[in-house]
Chains A and B, each alone.
Chain A
Amino acid sequence: MNPASKFYGWGLPVDISTHGPEIDRLIHVLHVFMFLLFAGWFVFLVLALVRFRKRPGHAAVYKEQHFKTPTYVEVGVALFEIVLLFAFSIPLFYRIRNIPFPQQDALQVRVVAEQFAWNFHYPGSDGIFGQTKPSLMSPSNPVGLDRNSPNAADDITTINQLHVPVNRPVSVELASKDVIHSFAIPVLRVKQDVIPGTPSRVWFQAKQTGNFEIACAQLCGLGHYRMRGFIMIKTEDEYNNWLAKMTPVKPAPPAPAVTQGAT
């Protein structure tokens, strides 16, 4: 985790996802545009204030002057907004929301958020999730996995630790047990509200290994500020080793060892 200052600072944190640079580019374009517009406008404001200050021998002009430039600027701004919408934001948001590769190529993970923890549920080696039920949810079985259901035997659950391989798409299904949370990974430019009763989905692909933070971005109660998770981005080998280590030996309860807390 150390030194975090390498990744985080004042301004955009390091960006290690495949789709992230596009978001960053949009943010940069927008800020340059905002700065230019504001600077130009501000110069005009100062100029007007100085030139038309009240002083002896100076009087206001009643005649309504018709300025052409502001109209051009406004039309220009409107056109630029159209470009932003149709060239940047709408297609980009479409790409962010829709998984651009076949589902089976991606690592499937379920997130079950609760006050105040992130529970992760992996389908295991068979790639199919076992059944989960709210009635089975307990501190030792946070996602409510029914170990007796088909495909559940090799499922893996962790708390607050999301392990993913680098350079491989990850498709995350988000669900919440109690209130609305928001699944945010700043370095991956991932954020998605987690709404109870309405599962949603995000995807990402990391370009770099390392341990980074998962944050809750939506006020979810007293522990909102400490609903901190970690994403461990590993090489394919490291990930497979971890997977092998975590897979239950016998397809039966008790639930797998739970990795608790931070590194």
Chain B
Amino acid sequence: MKEHSSHSHSASLPFWRKYIFSLDHKVIGVQYAVTGLLFLLFGFTLIMLIRWQLAYPGQPLPVIGHLFSEKMMVGGIMLPEFYNQLGAMHGTIMVFLGVVPLAVGGFGNYLVPLQIGAPDMAFPKLNMMSYWVYFMGGLIMLASFFLPEGAAQSGWTSYPPLANLASSGQTFWLLGMVFLITSSLLGSVNFIVTIAQLRADGLSFFRLPFFVWAQFITSFLLLLAFPPLEAAGVLQLMDRLAGTSFFMPSGLVVAGEQLAVSGGGNPVLWQHLFWFLAHPEVYVLILPAMGIVAEILACNTRKPIYGYRSMVYSVVAIGFLSFVVWAHHMFLTGMGTKMSGFFQITTMMISVPSVIILTALALSLWGGSIRFNTPMLFAIAFLPMFGIGGLTGLPLGLAASDVHLHDTYYVIGHFHYVVAPGTIFALFAGVYHWFPKVTGRKMSEVLGKIHFFFSLIFINGVFMPMFLMGLAGVSRRLYDPTQYAHAGSTQPLNVFVSICAWLLALAQIPFVLNFFGSLIFGKKVDRNPWEATTLEWAAPSPPPHGNFDEVPAVYRGPYEYSVPGQARDFWPQHMAKEN
């Protein structure tokens, strides 16, 4: 085997082949995870700058304000151009460069082959390529900040004609997106083939850990939903570079001048293509998180998760339904009442499987023997936080209440509850849970709990007030909310949110210390410190090239905890007989 020979030589590979251009899914997974975490930090930094402007509009940013070029801040006072760049890039970076690479690229790459008992992904070279293409996309996005007119500034949704008319940062954004989309496509092909073909003997689909199921469905979403955005990106690039008018209607007059384009296009076309991706993208963000939470709940309640099969059916249903809900982002574009009726119905339909999964996860606690370690705390917190995010989707998914709440802070609060205290908490849980597997050392529980409790308090302080601001009708993306009387009346909330956001940043310091400190000082542990059942814990920590000492075979479902008659309260999947 060609791949085989490269594996057996791995021990003697030079450093750059072993750790930089590695073909090992675990190294690539760690590369993804670290890059993703850095981008999360960077995206968070961008929004902390924005929070200053929103809390104290027009006041110079103290201490670091003068470090920015005068195209960004004048005398420390943020310019609207820079504000819009920060907003657009925060969204883009958090979604496409932070959360997805961490959840799918990082956790998926590292864990899926381990959890299915495979030596690696099906296509190791493709896997490496997908990381480096993602890396290039990230570099292009970062580089755009250094363009003379700065980065993209038309929102992460890049609605034309605004985006068509925007400065060169938008072109970089589009090119960056083409790279990121390509990377996701390569990755998703790899995941689907790996999960379909490389499962260990005996590991039937209904014995898969829920995390693998979540990744499997996620891959289909990436595979099928991203190409339309790629198409849209190509069309917008044509509009910007070749002078076409795909998204430009006839008769545009910009700043008093008639625009010299042929016209005849349709701006709403972009929105359809964009949201056809971007709604499934929401499930790309949330499904891996649900998978992580399911693993951690089962392990730390010491019992099987409740309703495994209905959870699997639900996640499949979510996958299908997520392709037919996209236009609920567009109720106010003037679509007909029939069409909006259809999308309201599908939107309510997709809430049912989500509720089933959330309920099953919560019911899994009942009858358990719950260990409150740091990963478990984050996983438990995911449940109510995601619950709030899901529930607040209701008024937005119903067109009539959406009339008032559309494009307000209510929307921001809603989707941040899903992805920030939702997905990102689950990702933290995953970091704490699988750190021993990756490094052979445990993270500190004390620092972990400090990190958890302060994060939980402040993240709610950030997003809860946004619902009130949204109800007050405050529009999104306002550079200076005090310009409006109805937005100015909520200004004290803005100040509160900003302070909570900065405190939330401070609350991440224990995590950073814990992460790096535990690499050196963390307590050394054996291969299964949590006494878990799934296959990754059968491999040594950290797993060597090829993962397992011997080819594992699987004899039972993923969550056989506290089985009556067993000597110990966990019964690993690969154990042939009683333990």
Contacts and interface: CB of A to CB of B under 8 A. Distances in A.
Instruction: Indicate if A touches B (C-beta under 8 A).
Output: yes
B11 interface: no
Interface stretch (A86-94, A99-107, A231-239): A86-94
B468 A10 contact: yes
A54 B480 CA distance: 50
B404 A34 contact: no
Interface in A180-208: 180, 182, 184, 186-187, 189-193, 195-198, 200
Contacts of A220: 162
A134 to B, nearest CB: 4
Interface in B165-203: 165
Contact of B303 (A11, A33, A62): A62
Contact of B359 (A22, A70, A137, A178): A70
B366 A218 contact: no
Interface string B375-414: 0000010011001100110110011110111111000000
B472 A11 contact: yes
A54 B80 contact: no
Contacts of B479: 222, 224-225
A197 B249 contact: yes
Interface stretch (B254-262, B273-281, B500-508): B254-262
A41 B252 contact: no
Given A10-B468, A196-B249, A96 B159 contact: no
Given A70-B363, A220-B162, A228-B483, A60 B473 contact: no
Contacts of A139: 256
A93 B403 contact: yes
A34 B392 contact: yes
Interface residues on A, range: 35 or more
Nearest to A139: B256
B51 to A, nearest CB: 16
B249 A115 contact: no
Interface in A1-58: 1, 4-5, 7-13, 22-23, 26-27, 30-31, 33-34, 37-38, 41-42, 44-45, 48-49, 52-54, 58
Contacts of A12: 404, 471-473
Contact of A13 (B258, B384, B486): B486
Interface string B353-388: 001100100110111111110000000100110011
Interface string B504-538: 00000000000000000000000000000000000
Interface of A: 1, 4-5, 7-13, 22-23, 26-27, 30-31, 33-34, 37-38, 41-42, 44-45, 48-49, 52-54, 58-65, 67, 70, 73-74, 77-78, 81-82, 84-85, 88-90, 92-94, 96-98, 114-115, 134-135, 137-139, 144, 177-180, 182, 184, 186-187, 189-193, 195-198, 200, 213, 215-226, 228
11 contacts: A1-B485, A10-B468, A10-B471, A11-B468, A27-B471, A45-B362, A52-B368, A54-B370, A88-B400, A178-B161, A184-B407
